[in-house]
Amino acid sequence: MKNYKFIFWIIFLFCVSIIFARYRISIDDAGYGKGWYFGDSFSSNNVKSAAMNYHDYGFRSHHLLPTYNYQDTIPNNEFLYTHYPPLAEWIGGLTTKLTGSSSEYILSILPLLLSIGLFFFIFKVIEDITGYKKESFIAASCLVLSNYYLGWASDFHQHVYIEVGRWLFIWVWWKYLKGEASKWVIPALMLIYGCICFVSFEAYVYIAIITLGFSWVLTKKIIRWEIALILSVPILMFTLRLFINYTEFHSWALTITDFRKAYTTRTGVAEGYSELGRKMTLHDYLFLLPYTRFIRLGHFYLFPSIVLIGLCFQGLLKIKSLNKTLFQLCIVVYLACISWTLLMMQHALIHIFTLRHLAIFVALTLGFGLVAYYEIIKKHIQERKFAWIILHSVVIIYSTTYIGINTVYFLYLKYGFMYPHLGSSTFEVTGFFK
């Protein structure tokens, strides 16, 4: 692309402007400013609570476990949270200790800086793995201009940390398997995986699939000393997580019981503990889960869900005709992306941010899909296939309208440059969660 660098820096300046415009929005905003689609304000408030408690009582007061509801005014409302990896809370506590402030704007600084670094890394990783500059530039541009990146850039719970870890692990592991990195990157990969595991359970299986799948595609081997070391990481991290709880409960029976309760809550297999307030039914698995994930997908990736799926599928077909190895890598990434939905269906149903797991697959395929679709449109215009031209016009108008409302109005303006002048609301572009 002739003006690649110029366009790149224009996009960068625009994205940074949006990020800092959104930085002003409090996690207590009454609307969706930093909640639902545009952030995880509930979990950020929990990190803030834990950070304040760590600052006042230290990390050893409850054996490193985070304290939630510490910042509210309700007497004796705080409680220890034992169910999720606490690295985000630890980072928040360390930030508060170092700065003396538990302000959400201080807690946001590290994720914000990591997000700005991730901007450059997204472009590099896609181009390195695909080897196609135009397609990778288009895909990366679409990704950084979307809610996947911009809406979550200053979130200080797990989201920025886990995305940086995902992109970094995939790139380093890919380079190693290609013979472009020495064996000394294996400890670095283990550290990255370990950090991700201590930020969220969501990447446990994701990274394991990437580890095994990339090795099979690129070397045709999965029995390797490197894989054994890397796959030992989630086992060690989960054991450490249980041990931290044990130091608080002083009983392995209580520790296991507590985690079993958390598991049933997250999976919806038990009536009393389920986040849905009931067991998940066959209808939930077959209809509600696919339906809600479908209507929400477009909120994260610029294009309406049906258009995005079509473009990525078109891109996958194009990749298959160009590069068999890249096609296989895309399939591996896709399996990793959907693994959490298959393993923890209720959590995926409740927590829409899990759709962000698809980002790297979208990044690898979307550029090829857009270029291929442009060629199809051009061919149909040249051949005067008016029925097809009308259909393409509908797709373009529909997509442009959706982008205009969902991204330009809500993300760039209402919860961006124009905040708070356009007010707060909980309006969704395509339906509500039922």
Q: Which two tokens stand for residue 164?
A: 């940086």
Helix, strand, coil percentages, rounded to 5, for the chain: 70, 0, 30
Residue 239: give the domain boundaries.
108-374
Quick one: 392 and 340 in the same domain?
Answer: no
Same domain, 411 and 305: no
Residue 26 lies in a domain: no
Residue 432 has what pLDDT?
40
Q: Which of 374, 393, 409 represents a domain boundary (last residue)? A: 374
- Domain match, 128 and 234 both: yes
Indicate whether 424 belongs to any domain. no
Query: Is 36 within the bounds of a domain?
Result: no
Task: Give the tokens for residue 90.
Answer: 């630890």
pLDDT for residue 1: 55
Number of domains in the chain: 2
Same domain, 360 and 406: no
Is the domain of 186 the same as that of 213?
A: yes
pLDDT tens track, the chain, 434 positions: 567 899 999 999 999 999 999 999 999 988 889 998 999 999 999 999 999 999 999 998 889 999 999 988 787 888 899 988 999 999 999 999 999 999 999 999 999 999 999 999 999 999 999 999 999 999 999 999 999 999 999 999 999 999 999 999 999 999 999 999 899 999 999 999 999 999 999 999 999 999 999 999 999 999 999 999 999 999 999 999 999 999 999 999 999 998 888 887 777 776 666 667 777 888 888 888 888 889 899 999 999 999 999 999 999 999 999 999 999 999 999 999 999 998 888 888 888 999 999 999 999 999 999 999 999 999 999 999 999 999 999 999 999 999 999 999 999 999 999 999 887 777 665 554 33
Q: What's the pLDDT score for residue 312?
A: 97
pLDDT on residue 434: 31
- What was the pLDDT predicted at 425? 73
Structural domain contains residue 174:
yes
